[in-house]
Chains A and B, each alone.
Chain A
Amino acid sequence: MSDFSRRDLAKLGVGLVAGTALGGPALAQAPEWKIQPEKGASLRVMRPAKFVQGDETLFLENTAKYEKMTGVKVRVDSEGWEDLVPKSAVAANVGKGPDVVYGWHDNVHQYPDKVVVLNDVANYLGSKYGGWYDLAQKYGKKGNNWISIPLGASGSKMVYRKSMLKAAGYDAVPKDFPGFLKMAQDLKAKGTPIGFALGNAIGDANGWCHWVLWGHGAKMVNEKDQVTLNSPETIAALNYVKQLYDTFIPGTLSWLDPSNNKAFLDGQLSLTANGISVYYAAKTSTDARLKEMTADIEHASFPIGPVGKPSESCSMVPAYVFKYSRYPNAAKDYIRFMMEKEQYEPWLEASIGYWGHPLKFYENNKIWTVDPKHTPYNSVIKNALWLGYAGSLGYASAGALADYIIVTMFASVASGAKTPEQAAAEAHKRVERYYKI
């Protein structure tokens, strides 16, 4: 905190990469927070159901703490991940329901007019906690206004078995695409194949397919929302996946989100892409076999493709406040409260790395170093692009994503049903249907 220039730069707030530029963000002097909850306020909060127990426990504990400190009554409803989207949409449409929603990535960009502008919350948090990552800003802002405050994101990393890689002659996951393919082929030859989901798995399949697509420099749309999918880069990505798919464990075309977790924990997979939940499940299991596997599980960032920069994706969870709420100030105050160090750090730690942080300050949290296996998940938000890259977020990006256009494109080439050229042309046409508006 004695570093004068660092603190001042960080104070400039949102959008500045000050922290990273100077080697690690620090806590800036707290700006003043003036918004007080309305008298007699009560809040209804909707959030995604827990995936790791610690997440929910601490979230509720923090909420109880808030109730005690402010006297505001807060009810938290946990919704299944897939129910959250329609429920939030219905609330937006009918103008009734929860005051605060912790929803999925671009949901709020489909109804930006229905939510309260949260610039005060974002600026306060950003300047206090070393600034927001670029991706957090992309998801949080519409134009110049913050319409949501990212709570965190769950993202995938390469999850692998050290012993199996070693047996195939690898100490670590190669850092480039050709090296990664070669490793996958060697693993297959050893009878310990890799596997990524290619069914309609909203999280897993989208995650790794976009990584390969973006890694080759291809994108669904450009910055002006013009469809650019049918390109030589996309064909290259499809050819790469065709080769990669030949090394997969059988059946990945039918995989949904839980499938790779099950196969990995059963010992059938040498490598897959997943959140930290596989490791967490093994670590906390009472099964002796899984306990043994824990030591053998390692994590790594996704290899970097020809494009030369990380091209991962993540599932962002932003909080937003509907305009119909009778207590917008209480809602803002609650969201701020949950992001403050005193609450956020215990929550981050209890989630043991399942949620990545959107504010740079939390990069230094001990959860990322207490177990070296957590460390790769530190960069979930830092390394990721948004689903809908490089265009804007909104109806078109949400529609294209929900329709599994990118996943289907890769799956149809992997299965041999289509050539890369056919698949790219067809997917291009499907994307255009959404972006014509």
Chain B
Amino acid sequence: MATAALNRTGSIVRKPLVDLLDNRNVLSVICMAPAAILLLTFLTYPLGLGVWLGFTDTKIGRPGFFIGLENYISLFDDSVFWLVVFNTLLYTTVATVLKFGLGLYLALLLNNHLPFKAILRAIILLPWIVPTVLSAIAFWWIYDAQFSILSYMLQKMGLIDQYIDFLGKPNNARASLIAANVWRGIPFVAICLLAGLQTISPSLYEAAALDGATPWQRFRHVTMPMLMPILSIVLTFSVLFTFTDFQLIYAITRGGPVNSTHLMATLAFQRAIPGGQLGEGAAIATAMIPFLVAATLSSYFGLQRRKWQQGESDG
């Protein structure tokens, strides 16, 4: 608008291209375009295609036809699908709670003045740095029915008579995989929360101490509210990662025994690629979206409520 006005006065003569680039609307479109194109090509398009495939009977090597909700209706009747939904929710809930409890505890410990603080912090990150497949293979050996180091030690100590069937019984297998996931996930939570802890101004603690606050009160009314914004972000990410976990399951149990450790991601893969039912696999993957959106919204908005951050109680 400004250039147009200048032109009318005739004091400055400009080329049309320059004029165009000076136009705020045009410029903003040009600047946004690369990001928008990236998002559309690499996020919106694949996501949209995935959702679309879920409404078709596409098979590997054969284009599909639109079949409406047939995949979903068929999944609704499939006991394995519901078992897998249950597994996924259980896996995500238990693993996330444990990761947060232990991760927060670890972050608080590391926030104290410890000797060799930097080295300790680096070591904590190790489980997260090791490629998942490697740690999965390590856990596969740890849980092995015949060669488990855990069983071996417990037996040598005289605590058990025969090797623990870590992966052979449904609930054992679920617990074992959750433990592996927690082990992998703690560092991420701990380091992020540690970063959050370090942004809390010491003066707040000093003020609280002057007011005679107990350590618990300081944690409850200073640390927690100040940590809430980063906590909510980390929680959101952690839920997303856990819900969509694939590698650990695939390397350790392939979803067995009797489908007790199959997650939605592994089932979607199993049916879509080795099974060739791309449409159904896409439908299972799409069925994850509502859960993910719900989990994200509740952890994000739930924890970001202002009241909490200001240290007020919920009620």
Chain A contacts to B: CB under 8 angstroms: 82, 85-86, 89, 92-93, 110-111, 113-114, 198-202, 249-256, 259, 262-263, 266, 268, 395, 398-399, 401-404, 407-408, 411-412, 415, 417, 426, 430, 433-434, 437
Binds A, one of B22-30, B228-236, B274-282: B274-282
Enumerate the 3 nearest inter-chain pairs by beta-carbon distance, A residue then B residue, closest first.
Answer: A251-B145, A111-B61, A254-B167
| Contact call A398/B276, Cβ cutoff below 8 A | yes
Contacts of A255 in B (CB 8 A): 145
Contacts of B211 in A (CB 8 A): none
Complexed CA–CA distance, A379 and B254 (Å)? 30
CB distance from A142 to the nearest CB of B (A): 13
Complexed CA–CA distance, A228 and B97 (Å)? 46
Contacts of A92 in B (CB 8 A): 60-61
Binds A, one of B74-82, B107-115, B123-131: B74-82
Known: A251-B144, A259-B145, A402-B270; 11 extra A-B contacts, CB below 8 A, are A110-B59, A110-B62, A114-B61, A198-B257, A199-B257, A250-B168, A254-B168, A254-B253, A263-B145, A403-B270, A404-B259
Main DSSP-derived SS at the B contact region:
loop
Chain B positions 224 through 256: 1 when the CB is less than 8 Å from some CB of chain A, otherwise 0: 000000000000000000000000000001111
Complexed CA–CA distance, A253 and B143 (Å)? 13
Residues 126-146 of B contacting A (Cβ, < 8 Å) = 143-146
Contacts of A407 in B (CB 8 A): 256
Chain B positions 49 through 87: 1 when the CB is less than 8 Å from some CB of chain A, otherwise 0: 000000001011110000000000010001110000000
Contacts of B74 in A (CB 8 A): 433
CB distance from A210 to the nearest CB of B (A): 17
Contacts of B275 in A (CB 8 A): 398-399, 401-403
Binds A, one of B4-12, B39-47, B158-166: B158-166
Taking A93-B60, A399-B271, A403-B275 as contacts, is the C-beta distance between A200 and B255 under 8 angstroms?
yes
| Contact call A253/B270, Cβ cutoff below 8 A | no
Complexed CA–CA distance, A255 and B173 (Å)? 12
Select one of A93, A254, A411 contacting B61, CB under 8 A.
A93
Chain B contacts to A: CB under 8 angstroms: 57, 59-62, 74, 78-80, 143-147, 162-163, 165-170, 173, 253-259, 270-271, 273-277
| Contact call A254/B276, Cβ cutoff below 8 A | no
Complexed CA–CA distance, A82 and B266 (Å)? 14
Taking A259-B144, A268-B146 as contacts, is the C-beta distance between A254 and B256 under 8 angstroms?
yes
| Contact call A395/B145, Cβ cutoff below 8 A | no
Taking A254-B165, A263-B146, A430-B78 as contacts, is the C-beta distance between A415 and B257 under 8 angstroms?
yes
Complexed CA–CA distance, A53 and B113 (Å)? 55
| Contact call A426/B79, Cβ cutoff below 8 A | yes
Contacts of B254 in A (CB 8 A): 199-202, 256
CB distance from B80 to the nearest CB of A (A): 7
Contacts of A399 in B (CB 8 A): 271, 275-277
CB distance from B171 to the nearest CB of A (A): 11
Residue of A nearest to B80 (CB): A430
CB distance from A317 to the nearest CB of B (A): 16
Residue of B nearest to A92 (CB): B61
| Contact call A262/B62, Cβ cutoff below 8 A | no
Residue of B nearest to A256 (CB): B254
Select one of A114, A200, A395, A426 contacting B256, CB under 8 A.
A200
| Contact call A254/B60, Cβ cutoff below 8 A | no
| Contact call A395/B168, Cβ cutoff below 8 A | no
**Residue among A200, A430, A434 with most chain B CB within 10 A:** A200
CB distance from A234 to the nearest CB of B (A): 17
A-B contact pairs, 8 of them (CB 8 A): A86-B273, A113-B61, A198-B257, A200-B256, A251-B165, A262-B146, A398-B276, A430-B78
Complexed CA–CA distance, A111 and B162 (Å)? 49
CB distance from A87 to the nearest CB of B (A): 10
Complexed CA–CA distance, A408 and B169 (Å)? 13
| Contact call B162/A200, Cβ cutoff below 8 A | no
Taking A199-B254, A408-B259, A426-B79 as contacts, is the C-beta distance between A110 and B146 under 8 angstroms?
no
Complexed CA–CA distance, A85 and B278 (Å)? 13
| Contact call B276/A253, Cβ cutoff below 8 A | no
Contacts of B162 in A (CB 8 A): 250
| Contact call A89/B273, Cβ cutoff below 8 A | yes
Contacts of B257 in A (CB 8 A): 198-200, 253-254, 411, 415
Select one of A200, A395, A430 contacting B276, CB under 8 A.
A395
Contacts of A113 in B (CB 8 A): 61-62
CB distance from A130 to the nearest CB of B (A): 33
Complexed CA–CA distance, A92 and B74 (Å)? 27
Taking A85-B274, A402-B271 as contacts, is the C-beta distance between A251 and B59 under 8 angstroms?
no
| Contact call A253/B168, Cβ cutoff below 8 A | yes
| Contact call B59/A254, Cβ cutoff below 8 A | no
